[in-house]
Structures are given as structure tokens and as C-alpha cells.
Amino acid sequence: MEQKKFDFNSLIGFLLIGGILIWMLYLNKPTEEEIQAEKAKTEAAAKQEAEAAKPTDEVTLAQATSDTMNAVKQGDSLAFEQLKNKLGSFAYSETLPSATDATTVLENDVLYLEISNKGGYITEALLKNFTKYDSVPVYLIKDGTASLNLQFTSENRTLNSQELYFEPTLSKNGDDQVLSMKLKTSENGFIEYRYTLHPGEYMMDFSINSQGLDGIINTSQPMYLDWQLKGYRHAKSISYENRYSRLTYEYDDEKHSKLSPSGEDDELEKDVTWMNFRQHFFSSMLLTDTPFKEVKLTSVDLVKDEEVDTTFTKRYGAKMLLEPKNGALSYNMNMYYGPSDYQIFKKYGRNLDEAMPLGWGIFGVINKYIIIPLFGFLTDFLPAGIAIIVLTILIKLMLSPVQYKQYLAQAKMKVLKPELDEIKEKYKGNSLKIQQETMKLQNSAGASPLKGCLPALLQIPVFYALFTFFPSAFDLRQKSFLWADDLSSYDTIAELPFHIPFYGDHVSLFPILASIAIFVYMMMTMGANMQQQQQPGMPNMKFLMYLSPLFMLVFFNNYASGLSLYYFVSNLITIGIMLVIKNFIIDEDKVHAKIQVKKATPKKQNKFQRKMAEMMEQAEQQKKAGKR
């Protein structure tokens, strides 16, 4: 049998044949131009198939092909008739040279706006003098994040202005720029949006008027102006910014309300005069001289998870019912795109300061008439961080008489502690008798825990007013102090590789310092109280002493560093004032001597004290009777 051997020549032959085949395939591969042509051919076929599958009643102007539009402009009567079947008399607006997506620019030294021919509304709003936390310019509107749509009935058709083309005319009126955007049915028949931008102003005039549309617009049918906006994120902490992004509005003769800052919320309101789509430190507002009869207001929270780097905070909406007069539209309004700054809002009047989250009732009054003017005065010549410290010092000095009374009451209770301990030992097991004798002793000595609590209560309105002031203080935005690069946001001394619920993914130093100061202060004020026996029904002082600093440490980690700086300085000053009062003003021996004199002096009980004493006596007698 012949043995098979490896044929080296055959292997070489196969390799040569394979190489030739590969070379031929390479030479015959399609060029880049041929690939692109084939791709375009495939996409065109798919598009034609998709268009053929669409129902006829879904074809709108926005879906009309460029060939049809060009045919209309070139005088194609058949194409014009097709367009007129969709739009009626408003088909005329599509025959004009302005029927494109071009935009017109309005700008002054603080505001840059672009208004589109399509829809006639603002498609870009840039604030020139501000940047975001990452140094990117502040846009309130960009890339389709806002729309303004007039919905009306015309010749048995429901039309939407955002799908139609306006004709722009830009002119000057003195130093003002005036842009007229007309949605035309003829040369003399139109709906007009008119924008007037003043030099150096964030507020501009805006009006909607109609002319020569008798028999074209059916004013007996509802007409709506629908304003929609998605709020961009501008701050480092999206959860903190989102907390203060909120839709606020005025209605029914200067009443004010707001939608929820979380989840989804809506409200149907009557006689609305303005609405503010607030994005924390920036606002987009619409104001009207003629109240809107009815407005459907909506707010949707777009921040679902604070750990996700989200682009938007809220989606706002306002659908306004318009009321034509004598068959025509006539609304004089204003638009505002600018900072949520109390001083600017106050300058424009119209209760716009109510759009600021300054607290209700007495808290808002303190902010408007004391805190804001004082802080504004200080920031005129001091850096923001130093202004906070000086503001804190001034407030603590104003409240020092109240704090003196508070500490004096605590000193009296401390002096009485030995006698109170004697009462507890003498009537041990009889809590009612202990309470009765304690009240007698305190009354005769002129000392009471309530006298220490009341001064503290008087300070609460000021503290809460400041708590609402700092998060809304525009003057703190992007102002640095020590290690904090922005006092309107949190300071960072360390980044964490993970996220802690409620705390965040970073470590802020100012909340830590404020927590330590609060803990020392509470040790000074509660130390003596904790040595006393815990009274039934009374809060656990030791628990409170640890809870308050812990609360500050955790929840303020994402708050404005300016607020934490205030609490830190405030508690340091409080500790200092208490030490001064204790060591240089109040002499406990003298307090004790005065108490003894007061105890020896017969004191007439007031009506409330007599009533309380009688009730306790009756309770004591009933208790004794029950034991028999």
C-alpha cells in the first residue's frame, strides 16, 4: 500500500488561490460614495413606506413636505388649495417669504432672546451676566424647552399657532427694541404678538392683538394661550435647587398661592394676574393687565433620584382661557426672564416679591422689613461671608436682652435646685404633692421654667425668618468665603465614593462646625437640667441634646453654606454672651439672696394661680379619699 505523504506544493497552491480571492474581493468592494448612496436609497424607501402608513387625519402643517411648501410659494394653485383645506384663511401665512424656521434676535445688555418665525414665541432666553455652577451660561430657554401656543377655532378648524408661521418686523422706538410677529390671513388681517425690550431690563412688554379677522376666527368657541416650560438645572446640588423651584401665582385680587415642589400638582384657578415658573435663583414670569378668567396650572417634578445627574428640575404649564372683546383679541402683558432677586421684584411692584419664598406671616415681615434691607446694606461694602457674620452679630446684640432674661430664669432655677430636691425627697412617691409644692416654691421665689422658655420662644420668629432668607438670598449666589466657593450652595472638604441617604456624597465643614457649636451650647443650657430627676411627661433632655446637633450635621450637609455659617457664628456668639452673663453680670449668690427676700414677702396669687392651686388641692383630696 502506498503511504500518503504531506504535499508541500499543494499547500502553497491553496495559499496562493486564497490570496488571489482576497485581493479580488478588496478590489471589488463598494466605495464610500456607493455605500452612502445605498443607505440614502434605503432610508428614502423606509420614509415613503412610513408616510404611506399614516392616517390622513394625522397629517398637519408640521408634517408637510418641503416640496409642497415650495410649490405654494411658487404659485402652485393646487398645492395652495390643499394647504387652504388644512388652514383656511391662515394658509396665506405659508405663502410669505417668512414661512421658515428663521429666528429674530432681541437683546439688551442683560438679556438675549431669539424669537422663531414658526410659532412666533421665544425659543432661546440667555441671561448675559450669569453662569451656572459649571461656568456654562445660564439659559432659561433653549433647544425646545419652552413653547407658547394660541389655540383657536377658525372656519370650523382648530388651529395651533405654534405650528404656523409668523412674519417678523423689527423696529426701534427710542431706545426700545420692538418686534412685531404677525400671523396673517391677508395684508390687513392678522394675529400679532408684540415684544418690546427696554435697555437694561429683564422685564419686557408683551401683547396679543388681532385685526381684520371678523368671520375668520370663531370667538364664541374657547380660545387658550398655553405656556409650557422645562426648567434647567443651574446649581451644584440638584436636590437643593429643586426644593426651591416652584410655580407661584397671583389670583383673585392679590391672593397668592403655589403648587407643590414635589411630585405632580395642578390647580384650576380663577382671575390669575401673574405666574412665576421659578427655578430657584431664576424666574420666568408672565403678567397680564387683564386677569385671565381661568388658568389650568401644572407642575411636574422631573428629579426622580438625587443621585442621577439630571438636566431639568421641573416641567411647568399654564393654560389660560382668553376672552375676546368685540370679536378681537386684546391683551397687554409682560414677560420676565431674570434673577429671582427680591430687590428687582420689588422695583417692578405688582406684588412680585410674593413670588419669593420668604416665609408666611410674621416671618415674611421680618425678612422684608429687617433682614433683607440690613443685609443689602452690608453687602454694599462688605464681602458676602463677612456680611453674614456682621448680620449675625447685630441680630444677637438685638436679642441679647431676651437672652439675658432667659439665662436669669435658668440661674434662679439652679439656685432653687437644693430646695426642689428636698421637696422630692420629702414627698417621695406622691407626684401630685411634689408638683403642688414645687409650684408654691417657684411662685414665692419668682422663678419658673416658663420664664426661661418664653424668651426662647420670642427668638423663634427671627431664627425661622433667617432660615427662609438664606436659601433665597440671590446676593449669596456664587460668592465665596474661606473654603466655600459658593455660599448659596454646600461647601465641600471631601468627596465620598458612595451616596448616603439624606446626607449626600460629600462632606461639608460648616455644618460640622455648626453642630459642634450647638452641642456645646446645649451642654451649657441643659447640663444642670439633666442632673435633675427626669419629670414624668417631660422630654428627655439628653436625647434632645444629641438630636439637634445630629439633625444639623445630616440635613444641612446639602443646604446653603451661608446658612450653616450663620448658625455656626450665631451659636458661638450665644456661648460667648452666656459666659459673659454668667461670669460678669449675674451673681448666683445675689440671686439666691433676692429669692430668699422674695420668699419671705407675702405674695398675692393671681386668678390663674389660685385656680390651679384649688384644682391640685381637690385632686389631692380625691386621691386620699380613694385610699380609704
Domain ranges of the chain: 62-95, 97-344, 366-430+446-584
Tell me if 269 sits within 8 A of 251, measured CB to CB: yes
List the 111-116 sheet strands across, edge first. Answer: 103-107, 111-116, 122-131, 137-141
Query: Where do runs of H (alpha helix) occur along 384-534?
Result: 384-415, 417-426, 431-445, 449-472, 509-531
Q: Please name the helix (run of DSSP H) or strand (run of DSSP E) that holds residue 611, with its range, or none.
A: helix 607-627
Instruction: Tell me what percent of the residues of the chain surpass a pLDDT of 90.
Output: 40
Write the DSSP string, 125-185: EEEEEEE-TTS-EEEEE-TT-EEEEEEEEETTEEEEGGGSBPEEEEEEETTEEEEEEEEES
CA–CA distance from 213 to each of 83, 97, 179, 185, 209 (Å)?
19, 22, 21, 8, 11
Q: How is residue 229 written as a grid cell? A: 416650560
More confident residue, 377 or 21: 377
Tell me if 119 sits within 8 A of 100, measured CB to CB: no
Which pLDDT does position 499 carry in this prediction?
80
Task: Provide the 3-class DSSP secondary structure of residue 618.
Answer: helix
Q: Which residues of 271-305 are buried (b: 16+ CB within 10 A; e: fewer)?
A: ebbbbbbbbbbbbbbbbbeebbebbebbbebbbee
Q: How is residue 25 written as a grid cell? A: 474581493
The four Cα atoms 51, 55, 56, 58 give a dihedral, to 10 degrees, of: -90
More confident residue, 506 or 106: 106
Tell me if 285 sits within 8 A of 237, measured CB to CB: no
Q: How is residue 455 written as a grid cell? A: 424668651
Please give the Cα distance from 511 to 302 (Å, whole number). Answer: 28
Lowest-pLDDT range of 5-9, 116-120, 235-239, 377-381: 5-9
Please give the Cα distance from 623 to 61 (Å, whole number). Answer: 88
402-427 pLDDT per residue, tens: 777 767 666 666 666 677 777 777 77
Which pLDDT does position 558 carry in this prediction?
84
If phi over 0 gives left and psi between -120 and 50 gives alpha, with beta otherwise, what is residue 194? beta
Q: What is the CA radius of gyration of the chain?
A: 37
192-230 pLDDT per residue, tens: 999 999 999 999 999 999 999 988 999 889 999 999 999
Q: Please name the helix (run of DSSP H) or strand (run of DSSP E) that holds residue 407, with its range, or none.
A: helix 384-415
Q: How is residue 607 written as a grid cell? A: 386668678
DSSP state for residue 89 in the 8-state scheme: G
**pLDDT for 536 beyond 50:** no
The CB density around residue 461, as the number of other CB atoms within 10 Å, is 15
pLDDT tier at 532, thresholds 50, 70, 90: very low
Q: How is residue 302 written as a grid cell? A: 422631573
Nearest Cα to 309, choosing from 478, 505, 136? 505
Which pLDDT does position 4 carry in this prediction?
40
Give the β-pairing of 494-500 and 504-507. Answer: antiparallel
Which pLDDT does position 107 carry in this prediction?
94
Q: How is residue 241 written as a grid cell? A: 435647587
Tell me if 247 sits within 8 A of 285, measured CB to CB: no
Please give the Cα distance from 244 to 257 (Å, whole number). Answer: 15
Q: Whose grid coordinates read 412666533? A: 120
Report the Cα 387 to chain-centroid distance in Å.
24
The four Cα atoms 358, 569, 518, 442 give a dihedral, to 10 degrees, of: -80
The CB density around residue 453, as the number of other CB atoms within 10 Å, is 12
Output the CATH code of domain 97-344. 2.70.98.90
Mean pLDDT of the residues in the chain: 80
Report the Cα 94 to chain-centroid distance in Å.
41
In residues, how long is the chain? 628
- Give strand pairing partners of 338: 283
Q: Which residues contact 130 (CB under 8 A, 6 or more apart)?
A: 137, 138, 282, 339
* C-alpha count within 13 angstroms, C-beta hemisphere, residue 313: 26
Sign of the torsion angle spanned by Cα atoms 486, 489, 490, 494: negative
- Judged on CB neighbours under 10 Å (0-12, 13-18, 19+), 142 is middle
Q: How is residue 239 written as a grid cell? A: 436636590
Sign of the torsion angle spanned by Cα atoms 181, 157, 124, 342: positive
Which pLDDT does position 231 carry in this prediction?
92
**pLDDT for 585 beyond 80:** no
Nearest Cα to 139, choosing from 152, 149, 130, 147? 130
Which pLDDT does position 55 carry in this prediction?
40
Lowest-pLDDT range of 256-265, 270-279, 364-373, 523-532: 523-532
542-575 pLDDT per residue, tens: 666 677 788 888 888 888 889 899 989 988 988 8
Mean local confidence (pLDDT), 32-40: 54
**Extended beta strands in 212-351, E state:** 223-232, 247-251, 255-258, 264-279, 282-301, 312-322, 330-339
